[in-house]
Structure 1
C-alpha cells in the first residue's frame, strides 16, 4: 500500500487569532501547516519548504500580499505554487489586481470553514490536473 504525504500549506497571516484558527482547522483535516505573520518570512519559507499551496493575507507587515505573490511567481522554484488571498480587502480594484497577478483564489474575510476548504480543494485539485 502506497502512503501519500499530506499536502503542505503555508499560511501567511499577521492577525494571530485568524492565523491560529486557520492552522488548527487545517491540521485537524490532515494538512501539514507552516505559518508566519509577515511577508518576508512567508517568501523565505516558500522558497525553503516549497509548499503545495500558500494562503496569504494582502495587508501584511513588510512585504504585502501582492509583493509576496510577485516574488513567488518570479522564482522558477515557487512559480507554480497555487496562492490564495485571504483578505478583508474586497474592492473591485483589489480583486482585479489579484487576478492580473495570477492569484489562484481570492477569499474575503470573514469566510466560512466550508468556503476555505472548498477554495483549497479546488486549487489543489487543479494542481493534480497539470
Structure 2
C-alpha cells in the first residue's frame, strides 16, 4: 500500500484529503506543521508528501527545502498545495524542488 504524508495546519483540510486518499486505498499519515512533517517524513519514508505552502511556523517552502537537503528524504515526491496559486510562488516551489502544485480548493 502506498503511503502519503499530508502536512497542513488546518485540521479540516487534512481530514478531507485523508478521507479521499484512504477511500482510494492509500495509507495516510498526517502532520499539523512543518516541523512534525519533517520528523514523520524521516521516520516513515512516505511514497509522496502533500504539503501546504502557508502554515504557521515552518512554511511549506522551508519544509520542502529541509527535506530536499536530507539524503534520506530528498527523492520523495513533494506536492505543494495552496489557496494562493500565483506564478511567483509556484516558480519558487519548483526551484526548491517541488514536483507539482495542487491548488485549493480541491475537486474530485
Q: TM-score, normalised by structure 1?
A: 0.81
State the 1:111 CA deviation.
2.1
Q: Please show how residues 31-46 of structure 1 align to structure 2 within 5 Å.
A: 31-46=26-41
For the residues of structure 2 that align with 1:111 and 1:31, how far apart are their CA atoms? 17
1:18 — aligned with what?
13
1:101 — aligned with what?
96
**Which of 51, 60, 63 does residue 58 from structure 2 map onto?**
63
For the residues of structure 1 that align with 2:84 and 2:37, how far apart are their CA atoms? 20
Contact kept in structure 1, 2:65 and 2:97, CA below 8 Å: no
SS of aligned partner of 2:98: coil
SS of aligned partner of 1:40: helix
What count of residue pairs does the alignment treat as equivalent?
108
Larger helix fraction of residues: 1
**Which of 82, 87, 108 does residue 82 from structure 2 map onto?**
87
For the residues of structure 2 that align with 1:34 and 1:111, how far apart are their CA atoms? 19
Show structure 1 runs of 5+ residues with no match: 1-5, 114-130
SS of aligned partner of 1:85: strand
For the residues of structure 2 that align with 1:61 and 1:47, how far apart are their CA atoms? 21
RMSD: 0.8
* 1:90-127 Cα distance to aligned partner (Å, 9 max, x none): 111101101111200101111212xxxxxxxxxxxxxx
Residues 1:49 and 2:74 aligned together: no
* 1:67-107 Cα distance to aligned partner (Å, 9 max, x none): 00001100000000000011112111101101111200101
Show structure 2 runs of 5+ residues with no match: none
State the 1:40 CA deviation.
0.3
